[in-house]
Structure 1
Amino acid sequence: MMEMVFGVVPVLAAVLTGLFAGLFLSFSMAVMPGLARAGDRSMIDAMRGINTAILNPLFALVFVGAPVAALGTTALYASSGPVRSLVWSGAALVLLLVAVVVTFVVNVPRNNALEQAGEADHLRDPAAVRAAFEPGWVRWNHVRSLVSVAALVCAVVALLPV
């Protein structure tokens, strides 16, 4: 039974971490550059729609599941695994937690402010609303992307045989 747990949990952590990293990386590589080409009102409407749509069970599974699986993997390796794998899985966990903290400290408050600004058609100065949202959100999303990809690398290296 323990062999199965050691086989499944670390692989699950790597897969969920890959999905976690891919989500943020897709925003950095495609979503936000695409929205940067849109007018102020269109960008605001699209981002408000994205912020609503992303709050779904699959997103929750990935966003919560990746750090939880990384924590489980780290605990497994701490109890009876190779020290090398413990270090790499621990690093993955720390990096995932950095991405979660950035999300809650920087990106979510900007998303909330965008929502509170209201529908783009009713804004008196959509350019100002966009300027308050976009540059910081994008910059910190790049940070989330980089640390998430680094977490993925760590999670995969933890799987490699000693």
Structure 2
Amino acid sequence: MTAIAPTTSLPARPGGRTEASLYAATIAMGLSAGLYFAFDVSVMPGLDRTDDAAFASAMGHINDAIENGFFGLVFFGAFLATGVSGVSLRRLGHTRAARWTWAALALYSAAVAVTMKVNIPLNRRLAQLTAEASGPELALIRDRFRGAWTPANAARTLACTAALACLGRALTLRARG
């Protein structure tokens, strides 16, 4: 008969959950920054090579496709994980790391505000206006859309990239203890 050794578990590392939430925040923030950056450097320049009807159609399909669970997980997960990390770091006495995390949260909040106040309303308006527009009217709609949407997206890219840098600094400070 073989004896079964008792199982022992290692004690939980203090702040292990904090590290996990900080890594999750950093990954989600990187994905957000990367998504917005991809629009800045490839999606919108690529759509600029299409005619007005194709542009409107493609933007409509992109906006429909992005409303999915994976995007929602990243979009809202970045916010939640960053906030949880800031609270946890503060409770553990990692004040400097917590401050960098709060800065990341403020920057990401700005990106979310731009998304909600500028990009989403523009996307919806583009879909409404282009449904029945054609010719010169469609070109004007496209130009106005691009003129507002593109700088707003660049602002989101910069805010998320800066937030990512802040989270990187928080990770470094947390690792140093």
Query: TM-score normalized by structure 1?
Result: 0.94
Could you say which residue in structure 2 is the equivalent of 1:155?
167
Instruction: Give me the whole-angstrom Cα distance separating, in 1, the residues matched to 2:82 and 2:18.
Output: 12
Q: Output the amino acid matched with 2:152.
A: W
Task: Give SS of 1:123's match.
Answer: coil
1:110 equivalent among 97, 110, 122? 122
Could you say which residue in structure 1 is the equivalent of 2:107?
95
Could you say which residue in structure 1 is the equivalent of 2:78?
66
Give the CA deviation at 1:81. 3.2
Task: Give SS of 1:6's match.
Answer: helix
Query: Aligned residues, how many?
Result: 160
Query: TM-score normalized by structure 2?
Result: 0.86
More helix by percentage: 1
Instruction: Give me the whole-angstrom Cα distance separating, in 1, the residues matched to 2:45 and 2:95.
Output: 41
Cα RMSD (Å)? 1.2
2:133 equivalent among 106, 120, 123? 123
For CA contacts below 8 A with separation 6 or more, give which structure has more relative contact order.
1
Residues 41-60 of structure 1: matches in 2 within 5 Å? Answer: 41-60=53-72
Could you say which residue in structure 2 is the equivalent of 1:10?
22
Map Cα deviations across residues 78-120 of structure 1 (whole Å, 9 max, x no partner).
211311101111111000000000001111110010111243x
Give the CA deviation at 1:3. 2.9
Runs of 4+ in 1 over 4 A off after TM superposition: none
Could you say which residue in structure 1 is the equivalent of 2:35?
23
Instruction: Give me the whole-angstrom Cα distance separating, in 2, the residues matched to 1:27 and 1:36.
Output: 12
Task: Give SS of 2:84's match.
Answer: helix
Instruction: Give me the whole-angstrom Cα distance separating, in 2, the residues matched to 1:77 and 1:67.
Output: 16
Q: Identity over aligned residues, as a percent? A: 36
Instruction: Give me the whole-angstrom Cα distance separating, in 2, the residues matched to 1:151 and 1:77.
Output: 16
Q: For structure 1, list consecutive stretches of 5 or more residues without a partner in the other structure.
A: none
Could you say which residue in structure 1 is the equivalent of 2:7?
none
Could you say which residue in structure 1 is the equivalent of 2:4?
none
Task: Give SS of 2:161's match.
Answer: helix
Map Cα deviations across residues 57-97 of structure 1 (whole Å, 9 max, x no partner).
00000110001100000111121131110111111100000
